[in-house]
Structure 1
């Protein structure tokens, strides 16, 4: 029999399980977002960029034939991955590896592939395409999330619940009104996302150090054609904007701005799920819990808010990424340095993959949230007597009582009731004390009506209606086409 040390030392080798598996891809992210950051999407877009460049160059008079362009179009999805890797290893250059892989299947087009371009032509522009497509996916999921949350808020807009400030009992609010606080953050995120999508520029056709010198040479000094080339390539790739000037790369400040938007979404998610975790402890509201789900391997009775905790965990990660983008941008010397490359390969995909999971989790939570009205009411009624004392005081004064004397009596009764609750662990008996005090005889027969929770929720129902009508419905109307799109989500929520 092997010893424990021998067991620990003799590790087995299983070819497909002896390499690191990224949890964002293996466990969490949707197939849609994983595809946006996949090698297929990346290198197919490189080829699209080469086709767009050749097309624009032909239109502007360079010696590029239709046959060459059609050959590239026909072979765009014929990627010899092994050959590309061999060439990359040989050249120690990923772009040239794929230039040769494309040229292998497009021998007629090989002489004009990448004509006049630098590596950042395909690299940076593809990054922007991936960012745009990822932003569009996040927007779609946020819109669908708002639709679900609006229905939840409307359903529970009149359900009185105890409000908290400093996590101490405060005045009443409603379950639906509290939901609008979460939604308001997300509405702001959608607005920021819209601005980011609208303003996102391509790098365009800028040349090796951003001077467009090579293209100026190709077009025999014709500045107008160089400008037209840049505009046409961007148009072919679906962009109406491009950065006015660049070094070799587009300014890395764009990365920071994009990640700041994703950080905003994550902040909203953390706030919402933090509240849900606290409410789950109070047994007032709980996230969905599957019939066979196990909350704890030891404590079988537990219903841990695992989805909300996962959301907070991932949100904390995304919120930290803008700082890395900021440092990367600030450290770019002159026209560019390569210390931006490795970190961007990590933080850009991971920021979107994590945000994708976060928004999907929020949708899942909101769509199946359990509300326990009786627990909520019990907590409301345990605190409401204290809050109702002002109503009782005013009613007694209107019946001819002395405001100062009654105020002092209420203070004394409140302190005594508080001692019963805290010192003896018993129910709040403030109302019974008031009912037994002759000084409050004028309202003894209507005290119960004075402590109806609905009297203490202010304009909560109206605020919910107004918020949905004025802030949410316009978003849902503007993007009604997105609501009709089925999510291909397979996230392990």
Structure 2
């Protein structure tokens, strides 16, 4: 049987980045276990077990931290016999490091390696996502500034509303992404290590190991955390770290999914209106049957995966709610699926958004044509006010323009013609006092309120402040999607 005869998740085989896939790879998982065993041994020796843990044992462990393909295969064979993944790897690591065979995993329970490793992976995975999110925000901010003054028809209920600008609309996307950045940073920085807690979290095995010395056990816990590069350890655990932590970790990813879905949906709708499109490569095929089509395939991918990302959050919530007492094993299988899937999916969503935001295409002439189809109706109040300033009655003017508006609306809706309200006004003698002012009264830039100023202030203040700590992440790199 070849690899082509086995199912492989598209998250890793088709879409996700190499960096994210490696974090959740078997080699990284088992190599991280070995680092945890080494640092446990180092800490135990420093705290008081110098006679038990030898220099030779530590040197052998250090020399074989990265597990080989042959060792992974050997552990798989061993696991089939003992039905326990951690003990299979203890056995194989011991064969590789015979001087350490008797002290590997000393005093620990399986969750020492499995849970601590998971917490490391979650932190490292956020370290892949956050730079990508920073660059999405930065590129959209540059887009917002570029188009801060370009008037565009606003929509409420997907019905024509007052004008805004293309740049102002982009700030709505950016603001939600800034909240996602805040949430992801909070989740990432809140992560601690489970540390050394024993089988039910009481540290009984370590207390026995150090002959009842509580200070030594606490020192051991702190030392392992320090050696693994974490700033804090969870003060109490059961056998596992609380699965509530998974809820806190996945919540920002689900929220990012909502933001991404909204952004991509807006771009898809704008593509239908022919006002804006995602990048379209020269050789790209939009449809196998309709050669003229430019389907928003990247945005559709974002929407598709964002829905999946939101659904994974429920796995974490439900799992946290059913953990009995100190632990139950019904969390194991689902977490093996949910945690990697969530980060791989978020990685793909952000990579795709990076690609999209690097080359959004705007069509000003289409935008202008749609504005001019609706603007005459929006300008009626301005025209009425201009007539009043010339001494005309507001009520009389309102009735005159109401009649003409309904006639123009009939042309648009019943006859399929263009909005000819302004032409009707120009031909109506009553409105002669403002005929020379109609062009200025219909200038789209006078209908966008403070949109340009809002964009400038938002990007200069809110965005700049949020991205300042991550200036070293910002780049202009082209983001190619494999498929």
Instruction: Compute the TM-score of the two structures, normalised by the length of structure 2.
Output: 0.97
- The alpha-carbon deviation at position 15 of structure 1 amounts to 2.2
1:262-273 matches, within 5 Å, as 262-273=253-264
- The alpha-carbon deviation at position 474 of structure 1 amounts to 1.7
2:346 alignment counterpart = 355
Contact 2:135 2:475 in 1 (8 A): no
Cα distance in 2, alignment partners of residues 435 and 402 from structure 1: 19
Given candidates 461, 467, 492, the residue that maps to 2:482 is 492
Cα distance in 2, alignment partners of residues 270 and 454 from structure 1: 30
Q: Does 1:108 align with 2:95?
A: no
- The alpha-carbon deviation at position 308 of structure 1 amounts to 0.2
Given candidates 213, 231, 246, the residue that maps to 1:240 is 231
**Distance 1:485-1:278 versus aligned 2 partners, 3 A rule:** closer
1:72 alignment counterpart = 61
Contact 2:200 2:238 in 1 (8 A): yes
- The alpha-carbon deviation at position 84 of structure 1 amounts to 1.0
2:88 alignment counterpart = 97
Given candidates 3, 6, 9, the residue that maps to 1:22 is 9
**Residues 283-305 of structure 1: per-residue CA shift (max 9 Å, x gap):** 00000111111111111111110
Contact 1:270 1:311 in 2 (8 A): yes
Which moves more between the two structures, 64-73 or 179-188? Answer: 64-73
Contact 1:30 1:491 in 2 (8 A): no
Partner SS, residue 154 of structure 2: strand
**Distance 1:490-1:111 versus aligned 2 partners, 3 A rule:** farther
Q: Does 1:322 align with 2:313?
A: yes
Partner SS, residue 378 of structure 2: helix
Q: Does 1:171 align with 2:162?
A: yes
Contact 2:285 2:291 in 1 (8 A): yes
**Residues 256-291 of structure 1: per-residue CA shift (max 9 Å, x gap):** 111111001111000000000000000000001111
Contact 1:29 1:491 in 2 (8 A): no
**Distance 1:170-1:486 versus aligned 2 partners, 3 A rule:** closer
Cα distance in 2, alignment partners of residues 131 and 491 from structure 1: 24
Partner SS, residue 111 of structure 1: coil
Cα distance in 1, alignment partners of residues 330 and 350 from structure 2: 31
Cα distance in 2, alignment partners of residues 58 and 173 from structure 1: 67
- The alpha-carbon deviation at position 413 of structure 1 amounts to 1.0
**Residues 332-357 of structure 1: per-residue CA shift (max 9 Å, x gap):** 11111111000000010000001000
Given candidates 35, 53, 62, the residue that maps to 1:48 is 35
- The alpha-carbon deviation at position 118 of structure 1 amounts to 0.3
Cα distance in 2, alignment partners of residues 60 and 485 from structure 1: 49
**What's the Cα RMSD here?**
1.3
Cα distance in 1, alignment partners of residues 331 and 411 from structure 2: 64
Partner SS, residue 173 of structure 1: strand
Cα distance in 1, alignment partners of residues 64 and 150 from structure 2: 61
1:216 alignment counterpart = 207
The structure 1 segments of at least 4 consecutive aligned residues displaced by more than 6 Å after TM superposition are none
Cα distance in 1, alignment partners of residues 480 and 393 from structure 2: 67
**Residues 147-180 of structure 1: per-residue CA shift (max 9 Å, x gap):** 1111111101111000000000000001111001
2:283 alignment counterpart = 292
1:35-434 matches, within 5 Å, as 35-62=22-49, 63-79=52-68, 80-434=71-425
Cα distance in 1, alignment partners of residues 407 and 199 from structure 2: 80
Q: How many residues align?
A: 479
Contact 1:269 1:312 in 2 (8 A): yes
Which moves more between the two structures, 78-87 or 126-135? Answer: 78-87
**Residues 339-385 of structure 1: per-residue CA shift (max 9 Å, x gap):** 10000000100000010000011110010111001001100111011
Structure 2 alignment gaps of length 5 or more: none
Cα distance in 1, alignment partners of residues 75 and 476 from structure 2: 36
1:445 alignment counterpart = 436
Instruction: Compute the TM-score of the two structures, normalised by the length of structure 1.
Output: 0.95
